[in-house]
Structure 1
Amino acid sequence: MINTITCKSCNTLTTVQSTVDFVNFACPNCGSLYDLKSANQTHLKKYTYKPLDIILPIGLKGIIDNKEYEIINVLVKFLGAFTYSKEYTLVSKDIQYIYLSECNGHWIQLKQVDDIELKKSGSLKIKYNDIYFDKFDYYSPSLMRAYGFFDFELSNFDNFVVEYINPPFILSTERINSETVTYLGQHIEKKEVKKIFQLETIPSKSGIGVVQPFPFHILDTIKIFLIAAILILTCFIFQGSKGNKEVLNNTISINEYANKEYLSPSFEVADIAVPIKINLFSDVSNSWAYAGVSVVNELTNEEEFAEQDIEFYSGYEDGYHWTEGSRSVNFHICGLKPGKYHLVISPSAENVVANTSDSSSIINLPPAVVTTENSNYTTAEKIEDSINKLYSGMHDTEQSISPDQKTLTIIAELESPSNWNFGISIVVFVVLIIVLFVYRRIFETRRWSDSSYSPYIE
């Protein structure tokens, strides 16, 4: 059966395919209300209010729970405090009803239930289907506009509503004229409404919906955090039980390696993201030493490089002894992946030159002329003797001068992962949980701000 009506005021044609026996019709275009039970469809009144937001059209069809429904009417109600709601009635071909309510862009899908009735004087908390609901509010909305076909009278509209909530669920009793009906509803997202009706745009969302769920499930979040904390603690205990492993402890001559690199023996890294601690010591005094340190992955040739200066100075000034710097430094190179590694050390120091075995630098002097008091030699021989003595003295002086001899001690240890990782993780988890609880309280306070039964003190 197809219901088609042409408005007598604006000649607008409105059609629905429902077989429901309708008693009133409100023109979606001009707002004229007609009595369909009268012989000539008497004009009853005209609604002048025009909503600013989008109204889903009469006759629009959508699929809900694999069944096709059609919008047959819309009621626009004023709830107070500049708040309006739009209530859509949808009916299927087998006369099954579903209701959609939209307020400030928040949607609720409702169905009629017959086994409970809520009253204004009822309890502040009720149980239905093993769910406890808290009393949210009661009010008498004003009808501002009607669209489409209705199976009840609208000319003398009288409406009273009582609401109980347990987000995302709502129990709502409505008295329309002399009939009382209770609905069980649940919040649905905008994207679901778009999907049902294949829409591009629907009213935008603002504020907190009456049964809009909190974006985070705190209990599940806590469970996830606890599981993560247990896993981190387990890894920490397992890896920490191995202790530190020394992979290098050696002292080298800086003079020997001033122009070349020292390569350590190879060592294995078995765990993931292991840090290596490197300690350097040099016997400097009022001078400095330097070391460039690379950790080389022998499989990939990737290397991590660090450089350190070792400086130590001391002295007396105004009768006081002072020192500056240190003969040792230590540092970490973190995140070594499993594999085979070795260290490459490039040392240098102040007043240190490389050792050399180049014989060409040695001056071959002529043999000295032995003289005695009784020997007689010429002036030329005396001059040659003096030159020989001079060369011999220069050679002795050169041999007596040697560069500073400095050493560098390198100690390297593979360390267990730091317990800071576990501690920081726990602190972050606790802070996040506290933030979630604070955010939820703010969220719920805003939800209940217009309720007569708010459990939150602002």
Structure 2
Amino acid sequence: MHYICPVCKTENTIDADFKIGEYVCKSCSNLIDIPKNVSTKVVKKPIENVVLEVGQKGTIDGTEYTVTGIIIRKYGSTIFWREYYLKDKKGGNAFLSESDGHWVLLYSIDKMEIKRKSWNSIILQYGTLNLRRYETTECHIHAAAGFFEDSLDFGLSTYKEYVNGTQMISEEKSKDGVQYFFGKHISRCKVKKAFNIANLPNYTGIGIVQPFYVNVKQAINIMAVSALIICLIQLYVVATRTNASVFEQEIYFADVLDKEMVSKSFELSGGSAPLKVEISSDVNNSWANVGLGLVNEKNNEIVFASKDIEEYHGYEDGESWSEGSKDESFNFCGVAPGKYHFVISAQRQEPVQTSLPTTYRSPDGNLSLSRDAYGTISVTNNLTLETTAFGDAKLIRKDSMSALGKLVHQTLGKTDIDSLLNANAQAETISATPENKSVKIKAEWLPVSFGNFVFVLLFLVALALGLYFGRRAFERSKWFNSSNSPYTYS
């Protein structure tokens, strides 16, 4: 359809088939009464955040629409919102309303479908849906463009908006009567895709029918199903697990000196679980180390672990002390069922060998020699009680200048000092530390851990509660600016 503006002679066209009562000339902005073909007034052009154009086509939910008109409504001095009039190919009407970047798709409905207890009731019923009045707004048309079936009312109109979740009823009261529109939220992405728009205004605040960021009911259902599946898996794993000692052996350090030992194979059946390894060795003021490689014989994958065993004790300031332990343990986590063996290496602190303590006293009693467990020789002048320690007998023989050195030479002459001391020794050598010969290794496949299972369930419960209370806080925020909010605010 096309129309020639009687004012500026500009051709105005629209690719839509419906009865048009008036249109706004795209060139001179005169509002043209089609039956009379005269201008009734000049209107402002819609420019405030308008993203669609008259004649533009788009598809929403499988239905193709043509934008036939654009109206900007104004509330107060600074609040604007946009209404886009849509027509489908069958002549059906729809409306896109946008405010602060939030979009609502609306359809006209028969006022006979609306029920309420009283005219002033804040609750309105539409079918099975109960909606609560959000706000009452008085506004007027600020700007317009396009083609319209009915005459535009530039007078003051009263809007009452009733909301339930993401759905709403808009009640428009003007001098021509009362009209009702049913609307539901439509996302920015859907509008952008429907009309192939490059950019849309960003939304601010929370729209009156804006949905929560997550579908809480659907999310809780998914988490409930997930929790059930996890419980069933845990039940299966527990039912099929056999908790048993799978490996136990004493390893002698001499057998693994500078080499590794391959253990016998053992079978793990059931669900994945930790493999606990306990090691013990008779360390005494010494240490030992065990290296274990757990080999999966099916794929030859190896997991390595190393553990030190150390134990020390003694006396200090009249009090005994000790640290470390002869026993240690660690876990191979999440071991899957299958056939395994260990590759074992071990080493220890070697025992310290030293001489037995011994003493020698000269026949005249003037000189005493004593050798401690570490080979240090002390020389004592029994008359003056002067004592000097020497690292070995050779150092004593080299000392010919000191009083003690001269006394040794005068008393012993060239007699071998080590021979004198060894003659009084009970045995030639002993170990300064007890000899530790072996390490014992024991492996046990533990019961299936319930820790992660409980953690996951608690996480799902916490997430569900977080979503529930998050949506409740979201709804409170949505109704904050309403004079009919169902919530109380402190």
Q: Give the TM bin, normalised by the shorter chain.
A: 0.7 to 0.9
Cα distance in 2 for partners of 1:156, 1:220 equals 45
C-alpha spacing 1:18/1:450, structure 2 compared with 1 (3 Å) = same
Cα distance in 1 for partners of 2:77, 2:129 equals 30
- Number of the residue aligned with 2:358: none
2:85 to 89, 93, 100: 89
| Shift in Å, 1:192 | 2.2
1:99 match: secondary structure = strand
Matched, 1:116 2:113: yes
2:468 match: secondary structure = helix
2:171 match: secondary structure = strand
Q: Which moved more, 1:301-310 or 1:58-67?
A: 58-67
Cα distance in 1 for partners of 2:348, 2:464 equals 54
Cα distance in 2 for partners of 1:280, 1:299 equals 26
- Number of the residue aligned with 2:471: 440
Cα distance in 2 for partners of 1:325, 1:225 equals 47
| Shift in Å, 1:403 | 9.0
The 5-angstrom pairing of residues 65-144 of structure 1 reads: 65-80=61-76, 82-114=78-110, 115-117=112-114, 121-144=119-142
| Shift in Å, 1:62 | 2.6
Cα distance in 2 for partners of 1:126, 1:427 equals 41
Which amino acid in structure 2 is aligned with residue 255 of structure 1?
A
2:155 match: secondary structure = coil
C-alpha spacing 1:412/1:192, structure 2 compared with 1 (3 Å) = same
When the two chains are superposed, the root-mean-square deviation of aligned CA atoms in Å is 2.8
Q: Which has the larger radius of gyration?
A: 2
Which amino acid in structure 2 is aligned with residue 433 of structure 1?
A
C-alpha spacing 1:289/1:154, structure 2 compared with 1 (3 Å) = same
Q: Which moved more, 1:112-121 or 1:82-91?
A: 112-121
| Structure 1: stretches of 5+ with no match in the other structure | 354-396
Which amino acid in structure 2 is aligned with residue 228 of structure 1?
S
Matched, 1:152 2:150: yes
Which amino acid in structure 1 is aligned with residue 446 of structure 2?
E
Which amino acid in structure 2 is aligned with residue 46 of structure 1?
V
Q: Which moved more, 1:299-308 or 1:261-270?
A: 261-270
| Shift in Å, 1:200 | 2.9
* Identical aligned residues as a percent: 32
Cα distance in 1 for partners of 2:34, 2:10 equals 16
Which amino acid in structure 1 is aligned with residue 146 of structure 2?
G
| Shift in Å, 1:409 | 0.7
- Number of the residue aligned with 1:419: 450
Which amino acid in structure 1 is aligned with residue 91 of structure 2?
I
| Shift in Å, 1:272 | 4.5
- Number of the residue aligned with 1:297: 296
Cα distance in 2 for partners of 1:19, 1:239 equals 68
Contact 1:173 1:180 in 2 (8 A): yes
Cα distance in 2 for partners of 1:81, 1:229 equals 54
C-alpha spacing 1:51/1:153, structure 2 compared with 1 (3 Å) = same
Cα distance in 1 for partners of 2:296, 2:270 equals 14
Residue deviations 1:50-82 (CA, integer Å, cap 9, x gap): 533133111112334544332211111124584
- Number of the residue aligned with 1:211: 209
| Structure 2: stretches of 5+ with no match in the other structure | 353-426
Q: TM-score w.r.t. structure 2 length?
A: 0.76
Residue deviations 1:258-295 (CA, integer Å, cap 9, x gap): 22222222122334532111011011000000011110
- Number of the residue aligned with 2:41: 44
- Number of the residue aligned with 1:200: 198
Cα distance in 1 for partners of 2:103, 2:11 equals 29
- Number of the residue aligned with 2:372: none
2:225 match: secondary structure = helix
2:256 match: secondary structure = coil
| Shift in Å, 1:7 | 7.3
Q: TM-score w.r.t. structure 1 length?
A: 0.81
- Number of the residue aligned with 2:184: 186
C-alpha spacing 1:157/1:15, structure 2 compared with 1 (3 Å) = farther
Q: How many residues align?
A: 412
Cα distance in 2 for partners of 1:413, 1:171 equals 68
| Shift in Å, 1:123 | 2.6
| Shift in Å, 1:399 | 11
